[in-house]
């Protein structure tokens, strides 16, 4: 009985729910603030402009290398940037000009058409990936899709060089081979980054739009014919 009363004593005040004003509530909350950890990250406002630009260029170049050798690294995902995709998109759109049909109204893709196809296509694929429950963020996905256009841009440069020399059946076969190889490379590289963020039973659903996207870009490159 005594132990019960002892046990009930800490709960004695509970039957009276109202807090009486005699119980003081006070104390100290102190958070020890150590030395600032951002001391070594000096303000980038003071550094020379050349250093800022070189640092960004190095980051972009680093990502290009990651696309060339698509291992399972997260460098593309961690620090995403859209400089590389913009550079590639503009290069692609510029190189697709100067085609045979440029002199007519309808014909090869206009600069704006290439831009719209690439960016609108990337946005639609990213939305699709997010709606299917992907864990990758919007801009990370845009970054990956944009950087993986690089093999196709290289293929376009090769195609233009080949077209300078000849435009017969042999050159067509060479161009077909180059474009097919680079299309496969692009798709493989981007799925290495994108497919990991989804469940296994939805991977094909996420990969197919990427396949279609690069197929259409590859088609635009393959059908490019230079003017005389």
Which residues contribute to the site for another protein (CB under 8 A)? 4, 7-8, 11-12, 14-18, 99-101, 103-110, 113, 128, 130-133, 199, 201-205, 208-209, 212, 215-216, 219-220, 223-225
State the minimum distance, in angstroms, from the CB of residue 203 to another protein.
7
Work out the burial of residue 10: count CB atoms within 10 Å of its CB; fewer than 13 is exposed, 13-18 middle, 19 or more buried.
Answer: exposed
State the minimum distance, in angstroms, from the CB of residue 64 to another protein.
28
Q: Is the dihedral of CA 155, 156, 162, 167 positive or negative?
A: positive
Q: Is the dihedral of CA 135, 140, 143, 147 positive or negative?
A: negative
Q: Is the dihedral of CA 121, 223, 188, 146 positive or negative?
A: negative
Q: Which is nearer to another protein, 78 or 169 (CB)?
A: 169
Q: Which is nearer to another protein, 150 or 220 (CB)?
A: 220
State the minimum distance, in angstroms, from the CB of residue 164 to another protein.
17
Q: Which is nearer to another protein, 66 or 224 (CB)?
A: 224
State the minimum distance, in angstroms, from the CB of residue 35 to another protein.
42
Q: Is the dihedral of CA 195, 192, 150, 157 positive or negative?
A: negative
Q: Which is nearer to another protein, 99 or 184 (CB)?
A: 99
Closest listed residue to residue 221, CA positions, set 187, 166, 177: 177
């Amino acid at each position: 009985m005594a132990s019960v009363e002892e046990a009930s004593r800490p709960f004695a005040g509970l039957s009276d729910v109202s807090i009486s004003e005699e119980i003081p509530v006070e104390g100290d909350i102190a958070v020890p603030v150590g030395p600032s950890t951002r001391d070594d990250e000096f303000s980038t406002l003071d550094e020379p402009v050349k250093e800022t630009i070189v640092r960004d260029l190095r980051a972009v170049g680093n990502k290009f290398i990651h696309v060339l050798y698509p291992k399972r690294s997260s460098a593309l995902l961690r620090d995403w940037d859209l400089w590389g995709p913009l550079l590639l998109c503009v290069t692609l759109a510029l190189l697709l000009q100067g085609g045979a049909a440029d002199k007519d109204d309808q014909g090869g893709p206009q600069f704006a058409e290439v831009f719209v196809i690439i960016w609108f296509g990337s946005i639609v694929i990213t939305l699709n990936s997010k709606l299917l429950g992907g864990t990758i963020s919007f801009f990370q996905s845009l970054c990956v899709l944009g950087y993986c256009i690089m093999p196709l841009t290289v293929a376009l440069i090769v195609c233009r060089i080949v077209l300078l020399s000849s435009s017969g059946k042999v050159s067509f076969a060479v161009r077909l081979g180059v474009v097919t190889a680079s299309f496969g490379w692009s798709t493989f590289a981007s799925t290495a980054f994108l497919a990991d963020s989804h469940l296994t039973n939805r991977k094909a659903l996420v990969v197919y739009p990427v396949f279609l996207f690069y197929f259409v870009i590859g088609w635009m490159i393959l059908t490019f014919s230079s003017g005389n």
